[in-house]
Amino acid sequence: MKNLQGKVAVVTGGASGLGRAMALAFARKGMQVAIADLETAKIEATVAELQALGVRALGARTDVSSGEEVDALAERVVMELGGVHLVCNNAGVVPLGLAWESTVADWQWILGVNLWGVINGLRAFAPRLIAQDEGHIVNTASVAGLINPPGSAAYNVSKHAVVSLTETLYHDLALRKSRVGCSVLCPAYVPTGIADSERNRPGALANAGAQKSAETLATERMLRKAVNSGKLSADDVAAAVLAAVEDERFYILTHARIKGAIQARMDDILAERAPRNPLAL
């Protein structure tokens, strides 16, 4: 998509962090922008920022784990902004835990947002883009969709699934000979609010009384420190996403230093040996 001026972008998780940065980057390109999130005050503040850039914008409180709510979002975007051209399935959460430690509630929450959020976004928006034979889809995964750090089994599973889904989407679009493009975003640590995603956990999926192991508590401390000290900002990642959309590039690997760990995993697979810890490489 070379000409973004006047086109319509949708960003889930768009009221903070990477989503907010993407929404603002698209608006600066002259795009109309719809953001979906759970935090009403942040939605309103971000919509005001977008409108201050001189573009039409709307915000919708949306639980992306609900197919009905994402369908309603798609209907509203088309009705109020006149169409849709760029879809960023970006909402994400990150409860941590050892592979046997994550509760059923943890699994339901993380897969509901990180995986079903993308599935619902594809179901609601992809047919519209394909019908008009124009548009681009960006699915936010993570480097945890390409490697498997310890202490984050559910998160790794959700992000590997997003990478797999997006790669298959690419092949399916090619099979259809569609002009719709797609990309998968795989950033490493970026200073955002992702480490505080528990604030948005639904009460029905609360972990009342669950005890965290010493290993999980240590992983949480490490994650918070790594996120807060990330070298690239959310704006840097948003700029990379924008460039990938304009260049129709599939993989968006924002942190070059992580490629060594990705290569090590590929080598371990091909050599049929046990996987090395990517955080120790």
**What is the predicted pLDDT for the residue at 215?**
80
Which residue in 155, 170, 189, 251 is the catalytic one? Answer: 155
**What is the predicted pLDDT for the residue at 15?**
96
Helices then strands, counting H and E runs in the chain, come out as 9, 7
**What is the predicted pLDDT for the residue at 223?**
63
83-120: pLDDT as tens digits: 999 999 999 998 888 899 999 999 999 999 999 999 99
**What is the predicted pLDDT for the residue at 217?**
76
Kindly state whether residue 200 falls inside one of the protein's structural domains: no
**What is the predicted pLDDT for the residue at 199?**
83
Q: Is 155 tagged catalytic?
A: yes
Which H, E and C letters describe 245-278, residue by residue?
Answer: HHHCCCEECCCHHHHHHHHHHHHHHHCCCCCCCH
Kindly state whether residue 111 falls inside one of the protein's structural domains: yes
Q: Give dist(CA 131, CA 127) in Å, integer.
A: 6
Kindly state whether residue 201 falls inside one of the protein's structural domains: no
DSSP helix, strand, coil percent of the chain (3-state; round to 5):
55, 10, 35
Kindly state whether residue 203 falls inside one of the protein's structural domains: no
**What is the predicted pLDDT for the residue at 97?**
85
**What is the predicted pLDDT for the residue at 50?**
98
**What is the predicted pLDDT for the residue at 195?**
62
Q: CB-side exposure of 92: number of CA atoms within 13 Å?
A: 29
Domain of residue 243, residue span:
8-195+210-280
Kindly state whether residue 17 falls inside one of the protein's structural domains: yes
CB 138 within 8 A of CB 86: yes
Kindly state whether residue 2 falls inside one of the protein's structural domains: no
Q: Which residues of the chain have pLDDT under 70?
A: 191-195, 208-210, 223-230
Number of domains, the chain: 1
Kindly state whether residue 3 falls inside one of the protein's structural domains: no
Kindly state whether residue 145 falls inside one of the protein's structural domains: yes
Q: The CATH number of the domain where 66 resides is what?
A: 3.40.50.720
Closest of 162, 142, 144 to residue 152, by C-alpha: 144
**What is the predicted pLDDT for the residue at 94?**
85
